[in-house]
Amino acid sequence: MFNRFGIIAFSVPLLYAAACFAQSPDPNRLNLKPGATVKLRANGTGAASYQWFRNGEAILGATLQDYVVNAAGKYTVITFSSGGCSSDRSEEMEVVMEPRVLADVSIIKRSESRQVTNTEVFKYNLLVRNNGLGMATNLQVKDELPENLIFVSVDPANVGAVNYNQQTKTVLWTIPSLANGSFVELIINVRSVKPGKVINRASVTINETDPDLSNNVSIDNKDVIGLKIPNVFTPNGDGKNETFFIEGLDLYNENQLTIINRWGSTVYEKKGYLNDWTADGLTDGTYFYVIRVKTANTQWQEFKGYVTVMR
């Protein structure tokens, strides 16, 4: 039962201290939720003093008729009469603390898997999940954009509110609550302003204690290709636009260019291309190109398209 202070109170059966004989050995059991307390009361009367025990060990200072318990264990009590006679120990009251139900949130951030060239708009996907057994509240998702990205927009969020701070370049997504086993997603659209590796970090926090913080941060690495490939060049000797010049190719030490005519024959191929192909010996017309570059993460990326030779 609850007393007027909101503390659960239970009586521990025992005989009067003056009786001085054994009590029933049958145990009682009480389950408490995390953070709850229970008041145990020795129900004997006429006792001059008391001594409470936990797991068979005397509890220092626990000498009153009532004892408030906030820890698991098997509790008993002995009473003493004014004449010095003591009772046997009371029957056990076993207090069991139920495990705390916790929320455990995680975040995964992923960029588009496709190739992205400089100045192009691409997307990031943020997925936040509650892997725990309890409700998560006041989720704060932060995504601080690096200097080589510009914020464009966010797709409308199904849950929560999204704001962007231009001064800090931070996307803040506030989610009021997330039930256990549930997940939510957000799409952020950005534009690259500098080729190379883009490292982007997102994090999530909650009001509750999160037992596993290792999954509260996600980092995405994206290679932005800095190539600007022309669709026409004019090797006519006027000193202008004389070669098939691929802007940004100098950023990639390992590269390869292959030129194929309309009949499918390779007419030019060069490893370590230096922007010096002039289409010598070839007629004007449209040719198919394949450009391969090795990125910072040592993976090859391939670009295909058409270029017109016009003299």
Strand, coil or helix: 213? helix
Q: DSSP of 59-76, one letter per residue?
A: PTT--SSEEEE-S-EEEE
pLDDT at 25: 41
- Please report the pLDDT score of residue 12 as a whole number: 53
Give the CATH number for residue 276: 2.60.40
Mean pLDDT by 10 residues, the chain (311 residues): 38 41 51 82 82 96 91 91 84 84 94 88 97 95 96 94 96 97 97 90 96 96 88 95 93 93 97 96 97 84 93 90
End-to-end CA, the chain: 98
Considering the domain boundaries, does residue 17 fall inside one? yes
- Do 112 and 156 fall into the same domain? yes
**The 66-69 sheet, strands edge to edge:** 8-12, 38-42, 66-69
pLDDT at 29: 82
Quote the domain boundaries for residue 202: 105-225
> Which of the listed residues 54, 81, 97 is the one where a domain comes to its end?
97
Q: Is residue 3 part of a domain?
A: no
* Domain co-membership, 155 together with 186: yes
